[in-house]
């Protein structure tokens, strides 16, 4: 288990990342303050923070809309992804029929399909949620399918010898074995859900961070533009951290150290 311990100490040491971020921020501040780039085009980090604080009310209200869309879309997408994965694992014919289709859904550019969804479903939440479902169910389905297929056949046989049926094998072996892959998929899906919501708001809507972006872009308010980008990054990171937390809760055994 030496390998695992090393990777833990490695990930715990955040100093290099911190130094890199501070260095980049300093460089950015210099580029802006010393006018290497015209100030109105590249606001300094300080300007961005001021814009963030100054327009906090609008950012918060729009973020609430975006988060709501992301949440509904993610919940539906993950639910659908789960159902697809289970059915495709249980029935090989479904796997063979649907897998190529699933891959194709991921090759469709979201920016192309979002305006169509707006035309079909209007400017309200529905088209946004549909877009998020399309982008989030895939990582969950594929992750879980991989997890199901990586199950140790010896463990399955052992349970069968004890008289376990299909459902019991699913419950005691397949589902828990696929948890790590499920959470990897969920982490990606969570990040996609926010980006998906913003893109689809950008391409047509009344409120949300994407709409806010189009407005500040038209006003050439670069500082507000950066402020909203910052907010979106923070939200995505927070969601991913939430998924990690959930994973630790659900899989306490994954963080054990082996005792001699």
The binder of other proteins chosen from 9, 11, 107, 161 (CB under 8 A): 161
User: Binding string to other proteins for residues 163 to 202, with x set by CB under 8 A, is what?
Assistant: xx---x---xx--xx-x-----------------------
- CB nearer other proteins, residue 179 or residue 229: 179
Residues 219-258 that bind other proteins (CB under 8 A): 251, 253, 256, 258
- CB nearer other proteins, residue 157 or residue 233: 157
Among residues 232, 227, 212, the alpha carbon closest in space to that of 50 is found at 227
Q: Applying CB under 8 A, does 5 fall inside the site for other proteins?
A: no
- CB nearer other proteins, residue 105 or residue 168: 168
The binder of other proteins chosen from 16, 57, 109, 260 (CB under 8 A): 260
d(CA 202, CA 208): 9
Among residues 260, 222, 196, the alpha carbon closest in space to that of 42 is found at 222
- CB nearer other proteins, residue 185 or residue 205: 185
Q: Do residues 221 and 48 lie in contact, with contact meaning Cβ atoms separated by under 8 Å?
A: no
Those residues whose C-beta lies under 8 Å from the C-beta of residue 144, and which sit 6 or more positions away, are 81, 82, 85, 86, 89, 178, 181, 182, 185
CB of 177 to other proteins, least distance (A): 8
Q: Applying CB under 8 A, does 160 fall inside the site for other proteins?
A: yes
Q: Do residues 82 and 228 lie in contact, with contact meaning Cβ atoms separated by under 8 Å?
A: no
Among residues 143, 249, 236, the alpha carbon closest in space to that of 186 is found at 143
The single residue listed with the structure tokens 């199950």 is: 151
Residues that bind other proteins (CB under 8 A): 152, 154-155, 157-164, 168, 172-173, 176-177, 179, 251, 253, 256, 258-260
């Amino acid at each position: 288990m030496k390998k695992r311990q090393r990777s833990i100490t490695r990930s715990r040491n955040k100093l290099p990342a911190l130094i890199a971020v501070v260095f980049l921020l300093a460089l950015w501040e210099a580029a802006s303050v010393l006018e290497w780039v015209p100030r109105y085009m590249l606001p300094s980090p300080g300007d961005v923070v001021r814009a963030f604080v100054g327009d906090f009310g609008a950012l918060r209200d729009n973020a609430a809309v975006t988060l709501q869309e992301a949440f509904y879309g993610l919940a539906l997408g993950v639910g659908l992804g789960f159902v697809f994965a289970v059915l495709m694992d249980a029935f090989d014919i479904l796997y063979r029929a649907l897998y190529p289709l699933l891959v194709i859904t991921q090759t469709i550019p979201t920016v192309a399909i979002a305006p169509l969804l707006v035309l079909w479903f209007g400017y309200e939440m529905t088209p946004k949620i549909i877009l998020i479902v399309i982008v989030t169910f895939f990582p969950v389905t594929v992750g879980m399918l991989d997890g199901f297929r990586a199950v140790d056949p010896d463990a399955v046989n052992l349970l069968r010898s004890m008289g376990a049926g299909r459902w019991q094998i699913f419950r005691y072996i397949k589902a828990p074995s696929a948890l790590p892959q499920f959470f990897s998929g969920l982490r990606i899906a969570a990040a996609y859900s926010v980006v998906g919501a913003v893109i689809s708001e950008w391409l047509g809507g009344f409120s949300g961070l994407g709409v806010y972006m189009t407005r500040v872009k038209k006003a050439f308010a670069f500082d507000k533009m950066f402020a909203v980008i910052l907010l979106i990054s923070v939200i995505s990171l927070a969601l991913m951290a939430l998924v990690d937390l959930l994973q630790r809760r659900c899989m306490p055994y994954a963080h054990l150290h082996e005792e001699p």
